[in-house]
Chains A and B, each alone.
Chain A
Amino acid sequence: MDFNTSMQISAIGMSNEKARIDVTSLNIANMNVPHRTDGAGYQPLHAVPREIGLDFLSTLSETERTTLKGQVDIVADTTSESRMVLEPGHPMADARGYVAYPQIDQLQETLTLMSALRAYDANVVAANVTKAMATRALDIGGQS
């Protein structure tokens, strides 16, 4: 039985959760960056991980297999409306005194951070368990 596959599955799991944390951090960092008056500006991002199948190693390209990357799609949310905040006198304010900010919910982003962190931990546990099993297999036939 090949323990490498289990290990790589956990590694991809960790990499996926890290991508979610990256994207969430980016959203939080840009939360209060106003849109330009022509409407252009930061769009909230979503990390959408792809499902890892049991036979996933055969579905990966050579590069993906060596780097274990490319398992998360990062999608910009172009449909959400801007968050309008009344700040008259702000240099980016429109004619009515409103400034447009990206539609980012801080509570939601924080929850995503926490759930990604827990899932990352779980993947670390899984990798450690796999390692313990492989080590124990090496002990077979040793001093009992």
Chain B
Amino acid sequence: MPLINPQLFTVARVGLDRAAAANQVMATNIANANVPGYTAKRIAFDSEINRLSADVDVDGLSPGDVIDTGETVQLDLAVAELGQNALRYQAIARLVTKELGLLSLAMQDGRR
């Protein structure tokens, strides 16, 4: 196993993309909260991301289908979900930064 796992960056990219897509759908739900007849949408992600192996075709992964939950938007839940999703995004972004920090450390022969 190499010190820097290239798969990690790929998976992180997919994770960031998905969190951003989910953010867009959640923002749409909140913006439409008072539209008569609007029902909440969410993204159904496939579980392809679970496999952290070399044979995952990342570019072939679908960004996730938007499905209609058929329920009206509950503003409090929608805002809570939004915060949770943003936290996930920030965690992945932090992870990428840490991994890059490792790479930088290795390049400098362990010196800061």
Contact A115 B20 (CB under 8 A): no
- In the assembled complex, the CB of A59 is this many whole angstroms from the nearest CB of chain B, namely 13
Mask of A121-135 contacts with B, CB within 8 angstroms, 1/0: 011011101101100
CA of A6 to CA of B21, assembled, Å = 9
Q: Is B27 an interface residue (CB 8 A)?
A: yes
Contact B28 A119 (CB under 8 A): no
Contact B20 A126 (CB under 8 A): no
B residues within 8 A CB of A119? Answer: 30, 33-34, 75
| Chain B interfacial positions (CB closer than 8 Å to A) | 16-17, 19-21, 23-28, 30-38, 41, 66, 75, 78-79, 82-83, 85-86, 89-90, 93-94, 96-98, 100-101
Q: Is A1 an interface residue (CB 8 A)?
A: yes
CA of A5 to CA of B21, assembled, Å = 10
Interface size on A, residues (CB 8 A): 40
A residues within 8 A CB of B26? Answer: 126
Q: Is A13 an interface residue (CB 8 A)?
A: yes
CA of A106 to CA of B35, assembled, Å = 21
B residues within 8 A CB of A122? Answer: 30, 33, 75, 78-79
Contact B97 A139 (CB under 8 A): yes
Q: Is A12 an interface residue (CB 8 A)?
A: yes
18 A-B pairs besides A16-B31, A116-B34, A133-B86 with CB distance below 8 A are: A6-B23, A9-B27, A10-B27, A12-B31, A13-B31, A51-B38, A52-B32, A52-B35, A54-B41, A119-B34, A119-B75, A123-B27, A126-B82, A130-B23, A130-B86, A133-B23, A136-B90, A139-B97
B residues within 8 A CB of A48? Answer: 36
Contact A16 B34 (CB under 8 A): yes
